[in-house]
Amino acid sequence: MSAPNKSYDPVEVSSLQPDELDQARDEALAAIAAAGSLEALKETRLAHTGDRSPLALANREIGALPPAARAEAGKRIGAARGAVAQALKTRQAELEEERDQRVLVEEAVDVTLPWDRAPRGARHPLTTMQERMADVFLSMGFEIAEGPEIEAEWFNFDALNFKPDHPARTMQDTFFVESEDTGVVLRTHTSPVQARALLSRELPVYVVALGKTFRTDELDATHTPVFHQMEGLAVDEGLTMADLKGAIDAFVTGLFGGHLPVRLRPSYFPFTEPSAEVDMQCFVCRGASIELGAEPCRTCGSEGWIEIGGCGMVNPRVLTAAGVDPERYSGWAFGLGVERTLMFRHGVKDMHDMVEGDIRFTLPFGMEI
Ligand code: FA5
């Protein structure tokens, strides 16, 4: 009777048998050769060398072999894994080379094509108009002030002395964010910047604010629901209507040239007292078209004057709401619509042109910087 085989171990693992390993290696090599893209190769790499791949699982079984069999099995599996790793490396290099060649062809730039045939745009005249307006105020020593387009109802109305039942507060005129009781609106004018500037700056305050404003107006030749306004504000000791008039004169001269006369007509705004509408003499006919038998003027409709905006002395209630002592300080404010100014300054007949984004409208204004 022969002695028992002491080297026999029942945990001998079939996955480590040469046939099994050769099969796993050959399958991996075939899959690598078949991978037609870097993406496919990535999946193949995972399937044949990842933690759950046949070769990795077999490698883990080495520990279960009898000690004498481990070195041999380790060599076999090492050779199989090495062959797979080498094949992966080679295929990866081939596929990268293919991709680079393809990119060179697909993304080639024909440098001989004419470069100057792409139509060039122009800055929007509303932008350049706002910059011109700001420049006039900056040259007088004013600073730019800003406020949010989505505004608290308090800044847009309450701080400006609009009574709770003022019609401008209704949804017919004002865009409310979500519902009327949120207290959040799209600002209907740039005047809320008045209160913001006074609350955030040291006195005296000399600022100009420009930007988008919103009202529930239908888009037509002279209205748009999204338009732009400019607002000048000065608060200092001893300011009077004479300072306001002087600043408007300087503004009109800065924007239109030629020292055109300006007149103020009594008006009403809750946040200024007294308030006035601002007219400037027509910069085209200079008032001559009102004479009997004179050439009619298309710019001012032969009125001789053009209405440009509203103004007034800042209402003491507004100063108080913004924490400014009205006994010591006084101020003036002046505001206008940028679209309307563009219309009469440049003879634009229809506001649609300003919002439709047609390059044929903006181009004639040139590439103003
Ligand atoms: C105001 O908005 C005042 N905040 C202006 C002001 C400032 C007065 C400082 C006194 C002191 P008004 O509602 O009139 O005023 O609007 C001013 C200008 O905005 C108008 O003259 C007009 O040029 C322009 N505007 C108003 N609604 C529209 C609209 N739907 N589309 C285009 N422009 C508009």
pLDDT of residue 212: 98
Assigned token pair, 190: 């740039």
Rounded distance, CA 262 to CA 252, Å? 8
Environment class of residue 104 by beta-carbon count within 10 Å: exposed (0-12), middle (13-18) or buried (19+)?
A: exposed
Instruction: State how far Cα 198 lies from the chain centre.
Output: 27
pLDDT of residue 338: 98
229 Cα–ligand 1 center, Å:
7
**CA neighbours closer than 13 Å in the CB half-sphere of residue 348:** 24
258 Cα–ligand 1 center, Å:
25
Q: For the chain, what are the domain ranges?
A: 10-106, 125-365
pLDDT of residue 72: 86
Q: What is the pairing mode between strands 143-145 and 150-152?
A: unpaired
pLDDT of residue 73: 85
pLDDT of residue 2: 44
251 Cα–ligand 1 center, Å:
17
pLDDT of residue 68: 81
Reported as a single tens digit per residue, the pLDDT across 39-54 is 999 999 999 999 999 9
Assigned token pair, 281: 């003499």
Q: Whose CA is nearest to atom 18 of ligand 1?
A: 337
pLDDT of residue 148: 98
Other beta carbons within 10 angstroms of residue 45's beta carbon come to 20
Rounded distance, CA 234 to CA 313, Å? 9
Segments of the chain scoring below 70 in pLDDT:
1-13, 367-369
Q: Whose CA is nearest to atom 6 of ligand 1?
A: 335
Q: Which CATH architecture describes the domain 125-365? A: 2-Layer Sandwich (3.30)
pLDDT of residue 65: 82
357 Cα–ligand 1 center, Å:
23
CB 145 within 8 A of CB 196: yes
pLDDT of residue 368: 55
CB 156 within 8 A of CB 187: yes
pLDDT of residue 319: 98
Q: Which residues' Cβ are closer than 6 Å to ligand 1?
A: 189, 191, 215, 217, 223-224, 227, 229, 231, 269, 272, 309-312, 333-337, 339-340
